[in-house]
Amino acid sequence: MAVTARDVAQAAGVSQRTVSDVVNLPGRVGAETRKRVQAVIDELGYRPNPHARGLRNNRSGLIALVVPELDVPYFSDLARCLIPELTKRSLTLVVDQTNGDPERERAVLTGGAVSSTFDGVLLNALNLTAADVEAAAATQPIVLLGERDYGASADHVAIDGTEAAYAATRHLIERGCTRIGAIGRQARSTGTAKQRVDGFTRAMHEAGLDPNRYMAEGEYDRASGAAVMGEMLDAGDPPDGVFCFNDLMALGAMRAAWDRGVDIPRDLAVVGFDDIEDGRYAMRSLTTVAPDKEAIAREAVAMLVERVAGHVGPGRRVRAGFELIVRESSGPA
């Protein structure tokens, strides 16, 4: 016989409403009670019936994750962290990509598909306006992801990208690098890119170094990282350290250096951003900024579920943490 919420409530000594809150709105339940009820849920193997619950609440049980690019490993890592958080609440994740196209991003929010098909949206947008987000947040549950600031109209979970970039650059400076480059989207420095430019520039100025000397435009992929790094190395008086705005660019940069016989990290120290798995197995394991993806997923899902359940109020902002993981690409030569 299937375990019911009543069975869990009796075993844990709480009401069925408390069991429901632990499953759907854990923030409403005290830590000790939540821990006790969750232990009983795990012990008895209780699984809510998503179909019955959906019929009662007129909900689909589907949550959309909308990201710019599916082939960027950071987003697949994030999805992997989101799925168990949603599964605990009997919710299913559906992933879509926009390629950063503002019309596509806007259509996801205003085309009717979200409100009719999905209970809520986890959105990493590149080119929406604050007005776009405000209008959408007024009609449906949304939580924003990524560093770009769209104002206070919607819930938002992100790391402090400026401080993360500052920490990455300070690491290169403390290692002894004096000719430090940055590869990223400076020409379109909004949101994520702007924060990384700002953090890099602040660290360089504090050290009395010129942030513009080796700053170069690049796309967030391996090929661009390799091409830009190759140009830097071939131009004469090359950098002795480089901060790449994501790990894919950093992997490409290391390939270009390797092809030219440049020793990493003795001649060139490299730092990336995102802590993707490929970086741990590169020819020189990659030093990187590691966002706390599990915390991002946990906080984003908790806030979205509260919105789905009817929470109203101004947008909330949660800062997740990050860690600079030092590996061979910038470790001792």
Could you report the per-residue pLDDT of 205-236, keeping only the tens digit for each?
A: 999 999 999 999 999 999 999 999 999 999 98
pLDDT of 51 above 50: no
- Outline where DSSP puts E strands in 130-285: 142-145, 155-158, 180-184, 214-217, 241-244, 269-273
Per-residue model confidence (pLDDT) at position 188: 54
The DSSP output letter for 140 is S
CB 29 within 8 A of CB 21: yes
Per-residue model confidence (pLDDT) at position 56: 46
User: Of 31-40, 110-119, 135-144, 203-212, where does the model show the most confidence?
Assistant: 203-212
**pLDDT tier, 189 (very low <50, low <70, confident <90, very high otherwise):** low
Specify burial of residue 103 (Cβ count, 10 A radius: 0-12, 13-18, 19+): exposed
- Amino acid 307 reads R
Contacts of 248 (CB under 8 A, 6+ apart): 72, 73, 220, 221, 222, 225, 272, 276
CATH of span 60-159+293-321: 3.40.50.2300
CATH of span 5-48: 1.10.260.40
CB 330 within 8 A of CB 270: yes
Per residue in 139-157, pLDDT (tens digit) is 889 999 998 888 778 999 9
**pLDDT tier, 111 (very low <50, low <70, confident <90, very high otherwise):** low
CATH class, domain 161-291, is: alpha beta
Token digits for 331? 């470790």
Chain-wide mean pLDDT for the chain?
A: 89
Contacts of 69 (CB under 8 A, 6+ apart): 75, 97, 99, 100
Specify burial of residue 66 (Cβ count, 10 A radius: 0-12, 13-18, 19+): buried
CB 218 within 8 A of CB 250: no
CB 255 within 8 A of CB 264: no
- Model's pTM, two decimal places? 0.80
- Amino acid 95 reads V
Q: Where in the chain is the domain with CATH 1.10.260.40?
A: 5-48
Percent of the chain past pLDDT 90, that is, above it, reads: 58
Q: Where in the chain is the domain with CATH 3.40.50.2300?
A: 60-159+293-321, 161-291
